[in-house]
Structure 1
């Protein structure tokens, strides 16, 4: 009997951080017998935070069922808090998905849909602690797995996340072979890519500014989640 392809469903949205999506997607594209579906309200090009667009392959209404549900991050994540259709899409897809996943602030969309309550999860360091408002346990790690939830931290950690997912789905040998194929061998020119390596005062300034920008939206979404009981 021919095995059905693995269905990877990605929620796109305006102002998505393109590398949150395109990094993992490059790895997804090399998964054996897998199909990647890019879902949004319509099939019009979706503008990323980089200024160029990604074209969805399906609508929220027509999207196939997910084996893997994936939400990237970006400023547009917080606009999803008031998009009831998108949040319901996440809940419906998650109800039968084997893995429910995110990178960067994509975890906030999962949290707003009630899909991370009581789970450990990560996000971009500047927003991480605000996950607590949704009943999530924030963990400052590059990739966090809690049961069938896998979350990646900020932006570039999406590539690491994708290899963790590959190993869970297909075993470490296939994951390693994909890593070799795309020559993922990080050697950064600067060791300044995490809060632990940067100036503490500057890090705190970024955290304060981020919380000031997003605190109200997070608080309102957390209150709405509590009110609806999802």
Structure 2
């Protein structure tokens, strides 16, 4: 058995949905021999999409080689996908990590960095279809495992996702113990999901989210164009 710590990096960014990443953090931080790095450009408070301030612990430049790289979503994902510095980091960190993971619209960030091309992935139901724009294969599931890519659906799926990652890293016995310790026994007060919700309620939510979803789609299309451009550049360099 090795004494080398399990290095886990979670990307923070302004406008993120903090539960996407703080729920997995609660599980990851309790894994035996794990070190969790909360990553951003600078060590300064990050304000979530609903106003909660959280503090990174490690800069992108100081990030060690990771066993697990995790990205969440939130409205701030739109601006992030046009941030070349961060997206280059995502591509590097994800390109070398043992497990490349996401929750909610974090899968769009991974896909925008070229890390989900041809992989099945989950996403929040409002944005799941945009994965196809970026070369990924959308899947309607709470957690999707495709080789070393593990993705969770929207927001609260981050806990289901985290226990799955815990099992991959430390075995099912550890994951079961943590699930029991954290008393994960979901009993939602309302039996409603996107699969059984009234169509008029779905339409109301989509209408309210439409401006953000339009911006997100444009960001996805810009990222897809950049990926095609990079592929073209590589092809041109390889052509004799």
Report the 3-state secondary structure (helix = DSSP H, G, I; strand = E; otherwise coil) of the residue aligned with 1:82. coil
Please identify, of 50-59 and 200-209, the stretch whose mean Cα deviation from structure 2 is larger: 200-209
Runs of 4+ in structure 1 displaced over 4 angstroms? none
| TM-score (norm: length of structure 2) | 0.91
Judge conservation of contact 2:82–2:219 (CA < 8 Å) in 1.
Answer: no
Change (3 A) 1:218 1:170: same
2:39 match: secondary structure: strand
Correspondences of 1:107-186 after superposition (within 5 Å): 107-186=107-186
Q: Whose radius of gyration is greater, 1 or 2?
A: 2
Indicate whether 1:105 and 2:105 are aligned: yes
- Report matched runs for 1:21-60 at 5 Å: 21-60=21-60
Map of 2:194 onto structure 1: 195
Between stretches 142-151 and 197-206, larger displacement belongs to 197-206
Q: Distance in 2 between matches of 1:91 and 1:213?
A: 22
Structure 2 CA distance for aligned equivalents of residues 147 and 65 of structure 1? 20
Q: Secondary structure at the match of 1:86?
A: helix
Decide whether the 8 Å contact of 2:95 with 2:115 is kept in 1: no
Give the alignment's TM-score, normalised by structure 1: 0.95
Distance 2:199 2:221 in 1: 26
* Counterpart position of 1:223: 225
Worse-matched range after superposition: 83-92 or 195-204: 195-204
